[in-house]
Amino acid sequence: MRAPQPLTQLHVSQLLPCPYLPDRAERKLFAPVMGLGAVELYGNLQRAGFRRSHEIAYRPVCPGCNACIPVRVNAAKFNNAKWVRRTRNINRPLRAAIGPARGTEEHYALFRRYLFDRHDDGGMLDMDYFDYREMVEATAITSRMAEFRDPGGALIAACLFDITDDGLSAVYSYFDTSDDKKSLGTYIVIWMIDEAQKLGLPFVYLGYWIRGVPKMDYKSRFRPLEALVGGKWQDQSKLELSDCASPAGDVILSR
């Protein structure tokens, strides 16, 4: 007989300024993900719209706002469009290698360059090497680091991701921003979809999508894209944009 799972301990954070939308406040619901049962617990939380950072799963429950929409790509039915094939071909010379979730000084140097170029207004700029290692290595579930190197062996991109029972989940990715034509950020997502297909996993979780936020626009290009609406994952293309938001705090821990 299977032992019963312990109840999930949910906590609420204090109110902070929203990092995406001006004049709005952010509040998160979070739960520890560690110890026995962590893998199963996080799988259920992920399907309920939570994301992972370190050994914490979190989800926005902001007062008066439901703009953050959990989204995932249906990898099994992914639309291999012309722009996808073009991005894959441009980056064909790259060599990808999957390793354990370990942070190195080489990774950190690329991580810092990426932050200075793309997110110089964010709090992550304060992270030192040991903070970075903790972000990568503090995990109680199956997490991996993917490296992408050019033919000369130089590291030009990396992606920390989780492997769960129904998909891959992008935790954080960063890359060399000196050549926009390569679309490395987009390529990493395509690579994850390809890997999910190889592993026979149906989904790639991309975190949250917010309408009108340019930094998140790229997520809507991957089709079919599913959105968590009213406790159910639904094809986003069949929903009105105004419908793509669940009431704040509507958390349903089920498939």
Q: How many distinct structural domains can be found in the chain?
A: 1
Among 38-42, 88-92, 239-243, 249-253, the range scoring the smallest mean pLDDT is 249-253
Residue 129 has pLDDT above 90, yes or no: yes
Angle at 166 (CA atoms; ends 111, 3), nearest 5 degrees: 110
In a domain, 51, yes or no: no
In a domain, 50, yes or no: no
Residue 250 has pLDDT above 90, yes or no: no
In a domain, 64, yes or no: no
- The percent of residues above 70 in pLDDT, for the chain, comes to 90
Beta partners for 200?
Answer: none
**CA nearest 248: which of 208, 214, 219?**
208
Here the CATH number for the domain that contains residue 166 is: 3.40.630.30
Looking at per-residue confidence, does 162 or 216 come out higher?
Answer: 162
DSSP 125-162: GG--HHHHHHHHH--SS-EEEEEEE-TT--EEEEEEEE
Q: What is the pLDDT of residue 1?
A: 43
pLDDT tens digit string along 141-197? 999 999 999 999 999 999 999 999 999 999 999 999 998 899 999 999 999 999 999
Give residue 240's domain range: 69-255
Phi, psi of 110 (to 5 degrees): -70, -40
Q: What is the pLDDT of residue 245?
A: 44
- Whether this prediction's pTM lies above 0.85 is answered by yes
Average pLDDT over residues 200-216: 94
In a domain, 140, yes or no: yes
Residue 124 has pLDDT above 70, yes or no: yes
In a domain, 38, yes or no: no
Q: What is the pLDDT of residue 32?
A: 96
**145 close to 98: Cβ distance less than 8 angstroms:** yes
> 3-state DSSP call for residue 93?
coil
Q: What is the pLDDT of residue 246?
A: 41
**CA nearest 135: which of 149, 147, 145, 146?**
145
Six-digit token string for 247? 């009431």
Q: CA-to-CA distance for 147 and 96, rounded, in angstroms?
A: 6
Q: What is the pLDDT of residue 7?
A: 52
Among 115-124, 136-145, 207-216, the range scoring the smallest mean pLDDT is 115-124
DSSP assignment letter at 226: E
In a domain, 101, yes or no: yes
- The percent of residues above 90 in pLDDT, for the chain, comes to 77
In a domain, 1, yes or no: no
Phi-psi region of 157 (alpha: psi -120 to 50; beta: other; left: phi over 0): beta
In a domain, 19, yes or no: no
Q: What is the pLDDT of residue 247?
A: 38
**93 close to 151: Cβ distance less than 8 angstroms:** yes
